[in-house]
Amino acid sequence: MMWLIESLIEKWFSSKLSIHKIEKSLKGLEQDERGKEIKQKFSLTNLQVSCVERKIKLVKNIEEYVNMLQNFVRQASEEKNILIVFPENNYFDLLGVIPGFRWLNYYLNQKMRKHKGNNNYNSRKEHPERINPLFIHILKGMAKPVEEGIKMIFSSLARAYRLYIYTGTYIVKEGAKIFNAGFFYGPQGELIGIQKKIHLTDLEEKLGFQRGEEMEIYTLPFGKVVCPICMDATYFETFRIAREKGADLALLPIANLEEYNPWKALRGIWPRTQESLIYGLKSSLNGWIAGMHFTGKAGIFAPWMITSHQDGIINISSHYEGDFLVSGEIDILQLYKIRKETEYLEDTNIEFEKDYLEKTYGNADQERAK
């Protein structure tokens, strides 16, 4: 029965996100494209970059969704940014095209809001045990048509505005497996790469998502870029690997399923930029969907010694909910300079680390193999 629901959802999304409808919604891009040249050289001392913080808004059709994305991209272009990063779970709005989902969403959100007054309420612990199998098959059913649609949309936006665009994350389906993954596009509309999420949340495991196995690195004219996803930044090992691969800039989309706490928020990209001496761009999805409440501030982060207030923050949104484009200037050459001057950066103890890695990750691999 569930395979039938999955098939029907796939057909529904295929019709709602058809090539014809997407082309129609992108029709005006030709005007934005005219007269714009792709920069072949970049000033490494003043690169303008941006990241999106946005609220979930259910859309009725693909035209509304494209318009929302284009507004952020246009603003980034007007502010002379070369790069824009969208948040994790950037597809939630598209659930609005499912008949009856708006009513169901309202009901679930109102029900969960009532629980918030309860002292025992914990958004992370409430949801994994309450996953309806139907929701899993909805996600699987929408995966392929949404992936095909957003690839066309973001490639067109990147080419029209001559920007590097990291799409945030969507569901990628490979056979029976699904992954939480993001797409990275260049200013000619070319797909540079795809990054799968490596560290999953409890909720994602319950939903049947699979883990990525590799941290991809992309060499661009202005530096080397990695694209970890949300929980990947919780662990220092992820960024240690990124630095060993030569990363200068980390693009981190998040959708944090918990009530906002500034101290909890510090467990992610901010300490990782200090430890690894790289720049970090964090985009964030916020708001309510299906009884789940997401919060988080978008921001641009750097090693503390090269920020104006010596706090590791170049720019950050003013609130953990709402719509913001957070822009800022980064200096890659200054980053290289402080790496040379930092006395204990990347010190290693090979014997200790070999033993630590074998005991920590070797055991984990054995447990997964059981």
Structure tokens given for 202:
């409890």
User: Rounded to whole angstroms, how far apart are CA atoms 190 and 171?
Assistant: 20
- Phi, psi dihedral angles at 113 (to 5 degrees): -60, -35
Q: What is the pLDDT of residue 288?
A: 96
d(CA 144, CA 107): 28
The confidence band for 35, taking pLDDT boundaries of 50, 70 and 90, is: very low
Residues facing 51 on adjacent strands: 85, 326
CA–CA distances in Å: residue 236 to residues 194, 231, 241, 263, 272: 22, 11, 9, 17, 6
User: Of 39-43, 134-138, 184-188, 277-281, which gets the smallest average pLDDT?
Assistant: 39-43
| 254 has pLDDT over 90 | yes
Distance of CA 306 to the CA centre of its chain: 25
| Cα atoms in the Cβ-side hemisphere of radius 13 Å centred on 309 | 7
CA 279 – CA 170 distance, rounded (Å): 24
Average of per-residue pLDDT across 161-171: 97
The mean pLDDT of the chain is 89
**Confidence class of residue 359 from pLDDT cuts 50, 70 and 90?**
confident
pLDDT at 128: 46
Q: Provide the pLDDT for residue 155.
A: 97
Per-residue model confidence as pLDDT tens digits over 335-355: 999 998 886 666 667 777 777
The lowest-confidence range among 233-237, 277-281, 321-325 is: 233-237
pLDDT at 36: 60
d(CA 262, CA 151): 34
CATH number of 2-35+42-341: 3.60.110.10
Question: Model confidence at 294, in pLDDT bands (50, 70, 90)?
Answer: very high
- Per residue in 54-95, pLDDT (tens digit) is 999 999 999 999 999 999 999 999 999 999 999 999 999 999
| Tokens representing residue 167 in the block | 């799409």
More confident residue, 355 or 244: 244
Decide if pLDDT at 133 tops 90: no
- Is the pLDDT at 31 greater than 70? The verdict is no
In which band, very low, low, confident or very high, does the pLDDT at 40 lie, cut at 50, 70 and 90?
low
Question: Considering the chain, what percentage of its residues have pLDDT values greater than 70?
Answer: 87
Question: What's the whole-number mean pLDDT along residues 238-250?
Answer: 94
Q: How confident is the model at residue 277 (pLDDT cuts 50, 70, 90)?
A: very high
- 54: nearest Cα among 83, 92, 81, 16: 92
62 Cβ contact list (under 8 Å, min separation 6): 16, 17, 21, 22, 25, 94, 97, 149
Domain coordinates in residue numbering, the chain: 2-35+42-341
Write the secondary structure of the chain as one string of H (helix), E (strand) and C (coil): CHHHHHHHHHHHHHHHCCHHHHHHHCCCHHHHHCCCCCCCCCCCCCEEEEEEEEECCCCCCHHHHHHHHHHHHHHHHHCCCCEEECCCCCCHHHHHHCCCHHHHHHHHHHHHHHHCCCCCCCHHHHCHHHCCHHHHHHHHHHHHHHHHHHHHHHHHHHHHHCCEEEEEEEEEEECCEEEEEEEEECCCCCEEEEEECCCCCHHHHHCCEECCCCCCEEEECCEEEECCCHHHHHCHHHHHHHHHCCCCEEEEEECECCCCCHHHHCCCHHHHHHHHCCEEEEEEEEEEECCEEEECCCEEECCHHHCCCCCCEEEECCCCCCCEEEEEEECHHHHHHHHHHCCCCCCCCHHHHHHHHHHHHHHHHHHHHC
Rounded to 10 deg, the angle between the 133-161 and 62-78 helix axes is 40
Instruction: Considering only residues 346 and 48, tell me which one the structure prediction assigns the higher pLDDT.
Output: 48
Give every CB contact of residue 121 below 8 A, 6+ residues apart in sequence.
115
